[in-house]
């Protein structure tokens, strides 16, 4: 009798653990950064939640950490090879700017991009440095 009770209890515990592991609470989808909808369709982004959630995480990190805004002294403005138009300096979507203005990041060095009608510039950090930052972020958030 004790054997049957122990087996029933063990089976119940295993079943409860399995059900909990399969619940939607334990398998939360990778959130989609709203800025990505300006570049990709919702259908594509939603498919990435299951097919390639790492890419969504990488893009979300990229949107905030692959560039910075800085003052551009007049003497340095001539050195900036590219100029872009930005409507709101507080709401820059770097992926959208890269798409609209065909911006390209250098692997080894940062790229300075002048913002039209301002004394500001966007600095794209090097691809190598971005990967280092991403790896640090991923290691810290395991």
pLDDT at 48: 96
Q: Which residues make beta-bridge pairs with 137?
A: none
Predicted pLDDT of residue 21: 44
What's the domain range around 83? 2-140
Domains of the chain: total: 1
Mean pLDDT of all residues belonging to the chain? 85
Beta bridge partners of 19: none
Global pTM reads 0.75
pLDDT classification of 142: cutoffs 50, 70, 90: confident
3-state secondary structure of 25: coil
**Alpha helices by DSSP H, 23-126:** 42-51, 53-65, 74-77, 94-101
Distance CA 37, CA 48 (A): 13
């Amino acid at each position: 009798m004790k054997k049957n009770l122990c087996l029933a209890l063990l089976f119940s515990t295993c079943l409860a653990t399995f059900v909990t592991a399969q619940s939607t609470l334990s398998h939360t989808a990778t959130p989609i950064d709203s800025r990505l909808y300006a570049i990709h369709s919702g259908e594509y982004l939603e498919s990435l939640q299951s097919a390639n959630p790492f890419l969504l995480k990488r893009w979300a990190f990229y949107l905030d950490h692959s560039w910075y805004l800085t003052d551009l002294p007049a003497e340095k403005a001539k050195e900036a090879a590219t100029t872009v138009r930005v409507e709101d300096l507080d709401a820059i979507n770097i992926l959208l700017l890269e798409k609209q203005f065909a911006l390209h990041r250098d692997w080894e060095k940062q790229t300075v991009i002048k913002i039209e009608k301002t004394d500001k510039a966007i600095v794209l950090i090097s691809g190598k440095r971005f990967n280092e930052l991403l790896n640090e972020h991923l290691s810290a958030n395991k």
